[in-house]
Amino acid sequence: MIKDYEEFKKFVLDLTTIDLNAYKERQMKRRIDTLIARNKHDGYDSYCRALKTDQKVLDEFVNYLTINVSEFYRNPTLWKTLEDVILPDLINKFGTKLKIWSAACSTGDEPYSLAMVLAKQVPMRDIKILATDIDEQVLEKAKDGVYAENSLKGLPKEYRDKYFEKMGDRFYKISDEIKRCVEFKKGNLLKDPYPSGYHLIVCRNVLIYFTEDAKKDVYRKFNTSLVTDGCLFVGNTEQIIGYKDMGYDFDELFFYRKVR
């Protein structure tokens, strides 16, 4: 019998390996209670039985839980800084075969944006981007590479014209040459081992939902994943408190460089 939110969190951890303790509790509990009510369950116990026995309910829950909001070239000014300042510096230091990780990549808008921007500066054959997310549904959508027009609203016209094919009135399909630059894998930032030797890690607008302790843990692990002088690119609301204690410095706002 799952009586309260504390027991619900333990159930979800056992079932999905998602640790709800790492998320801001008031915000996450409100989202979950809304979802339970919307599905006409009378409480946690009834909903947990559905999660355990109905794959569709479980898939919906994980998708809802992971708060997938994404778009191409989000915050264009920061992407321009990446294109004009950060990438040339990384290429100068490490060569054209940069190791890049898009963490919590959602529907693929971000790693595909990275591939398009990078293709202006290095040969397409040298672009290899790892893209991970906890949600298998959004990873499948990312692999399909089909997007509503609204997802492309911030993308410069040069990229839209070069790498997208229009499908009907409302959708666009990304080119196979860009898709081949990205490898999608399931990954849980709160549980799984982190890869190593990366020159650039992009993780934007995800950690804002985490507790302060969980954020610090992830930022420290990102630091371990980066090579010295590698760069972490975060969202425009995600300044890292105490970044120097975690081994970072920064030359540009929202771009943190590993110094140790």
CATH 3.40.50.150 positions along the chain are 76-258
Q: Which stretch of DSSP H or E encloses residue 72?
A: none
What one-character DSSP code corresponds to residue 43?
S
pTM tops 0.95: no
Q: Which of 145, 159, 153, 77 is nearest to 113 (CA)?
A: 159
Mean pLDDT of all residues in the chain?
92
Asked if residues 142 and 106 have their Cβ atoms less than 8 Å apart, the reply is yes
Write out pLDDT tens, residues 30-83: 889 988 998 899 899 999 999 999 988 988 888 777 665 578 998 899 999 999
Asked if residues 153 and 206 have their Cβ atoms less than 8 Å apart, the reply is no
Write out pLDDT tens, residues 92-111: 999 999 999 999 998 999 99
Q: Which CATH number fits domain 76-258: 1.10.1740.10, 3.40.50.300, 3.40.50.150, 3.40.50.1390?
A: 3.40.50.150
Average pLDDT value for residue range 184-213: 93
Average pLDDT value for residue range 3-32: 88
Q: What's the confidence (pLDDT) of residue 143?
A: 95
Q: What's the confidence (pLDDT) of residue 161?
A: 95
